[in-house]
Amino acid sequence: MAIQFGTYYTLILAAIVLLVGKFLVRRIRWLREFNIPEPVAGGLVAALLSWGLNAAFGIRPTFDSSLQTAFMLVFFSSIGLSANFAKLREGGMGLIVFLLVVVVFILVQDSVGVALASALGLDPLIGLIAGSITLVGGHGTAGAWGTVLENEHGIRGAVTLGIACATFGLVIGGLIGGPLAKWLIQRNNLHGPQGSGDTGALEAGTPNFEFPHKTRLITADATIETLALFAGCLAFAQIMTELTAGTAVQLPTFVWALGGGVLIRNVLDYIFNFEVFDRAIDVFGNAGLSIYLAIALLSLKLWELAGLAGPLVIILGVQTIIMAAYAGFVTFRVMGRNYDAAVLCAGHCGFGMGATPTAVANMQAITNQYGASHKAFLIVPMVGAFFIDLVNAVAIQVFIKFFG
């Protein structure tokens, strides 16, 4: 028996999930010690409750997916709107190096998936589904490429399989990032700036999302202006998605939302000399991030994950180990073996197994405890949300041509 929750009820339940997560993280010591993000903690409780209702009474709650998509686009738009060229230049060589590290990881992730699938007697393309298609790509990429694999390569149930793998990655990415970064910080005796950033004034140039619980003073006028900017980003994303559908430059809608934000922000900055209100963008972006994650985990169907085939569970388990090992021994060392590198590792685990919102939540959990990491919050959102999707699309096409 399916129970459909409409838009308003979905939003109410998402808010409850966030409040429960906040309560649990504050009251349960090991959640704080392992830096589990609040949306992940509350979302897993909701998912377990849904699983219990399904197991006991056959009830399958479903939630308004359009609301989840809308808040995801708001989050990615906020990344673009906060990325003026001055901030991108500030990312500098670190952004390029981190991008190269992640590109190599995509090749490793797909190679591991294909090799394990072949060794277990599966179609090698199933290894791609349990590789960067779903883990780096997330639910949107899983749906898009799953359709291609079903229609053009005869992989039955590729979309369902992809959604299940992406869901697994979203949860695991939120569970391993914080503990890994904490282990690196303690093992190497690293220290962030003094204080967690939750009190005192924000520094000039502080990247968005860095201090989600920080009080930000905004006005009604700034709120209206910011809403208009977000509406512009979403309109641009919708237009470009429709114009490029079926072409060589077809990209996920959230990439166009981010690109629209970058375009609008820098046109206003450098052509019209209009001062964009970063604090309002930060508030909207953090709210969008939290609600998106809450709805994503609220919609988690654990009974579908329980039905994954044994070989696929093996592949995903190995991918989790590979992700943690690569971040801890490659990403951390290449990025400088310092505190910023440890926070970058938390972010890498987030979008390497799940999605960019998970990466940001992972980093927030670390910086709330150990202190700010401006470098990580400049680099990870842009790499995880924009550059990596372009690289991933090319890598997937190459692997499909070779093994398809």
pLDDT tens, 66-115? 888 899 899 889 988 987 777 667 667 888 999 999 999 999 999 999 99
Q: How many domains does the chain have?
A: 1
Nearest to 261 by CA among 223, 235, 295: 235
Tell me how far apart the alpha carbons of residues 65 and 72 are, in angstroms, rounded to a whole number.
Answer: 11
Is residue 133 included in any domain, yes or no? yes
pLDDT of 197 strictly over 50: no
Is residue 188 included in any domain, yes or no? yes
Is residue 15 included in any domain, yes or no? no
Is residue 53 included in any domain, yes or no? no
pLDDT of 216 strictly over 80: no
Comparing 369 with 324, the larger pLDDT belongs to 324
pLDDT of 199 strictly over 60: no
The model carries a pTM of 0.80
* Confidence band, pLDDT 50/70/90 cuts, at residue 327: very high
Is residue 330 included in any domain, yes or no? yes
Is residue 12 included in any domain, yes or no? no
* Confidence band, pLDDT 50/70/90 cuts, at residue 309: low
Task: Determine the residue type at 346.
Answer: A
Is residue 260 included in any domain, yes or no? yes
Q: Tens of pLDDT along 352-379?
A: 998 888 999 999 999 988 988 888 988 9
Inter-CA distances, 247 with 120, 241, 243, 376, Å = 35, 10, 9, 34
**HEC readout, the chain:** CEEEECHHHHHHHHHHHHHHHHHHHHHCHHHHHCCCCHHHHHHHHHHHHHHHHHHHHCCEEEECHHHHHHHHHHHHHHHHHCCCHHHHHHHHHHHHHHHHHHHHHHHHHHHHHHHHHHHCCCCHHHHHHCCCCCCCCHHHHHHHHHHHHHHHHCCCCHHHHHHHHHHHHHHHHHHHHHHHHHHHHHHCCCCCCCCCCCCCCCCCCCCCCCCCCCCCCCCHHHHHHHHHHHHHHHHHHHHHHHHHCCCCCCCCHHHHHHHHHHHHHHHHHHCCCCCCCHHHHHHHHHHHHHHHHHHHHHCCCHHHHHCCCHHHHHHHHHHHHHHHHHHHHHHHHHCCCCHHHHHHHHHHHHHHHCCHHHHHHHHHHHHHHHCCCHHHHHHHHHHHHHHHHHHHHHHHHHHHHHHC
Tell me how far apart the alpha carbons of residues 229 and 284 are, in angstroms, rounded to a whole number.
Answer: 11
Tell me how far apart the alpha carbons of residues 309 and 169 are, in angstroms, rounded to a whole number.
Answer: 16
The length of the chain is 404
Listed as own residue / partner, the contacts of 198-207 with beta carbons closer than 8 Å and 24 or more positions apart are 198/368, 202/279, 205/87, 205/90, 205/374, 206/372, 206/374, 207/82, 207/87, 207/374, 207/377, 207/378, 207/381
pLDDT of 198 strictly over 60: no
pLDDT of 388 strictly over 60: yes
pLDDT of 194 strictly over 70: no
The pLDDT value given to residue 155: 84
Domain that holds residue 372: 84-276+307-403
pLDDT of 34 strictly over 90: no
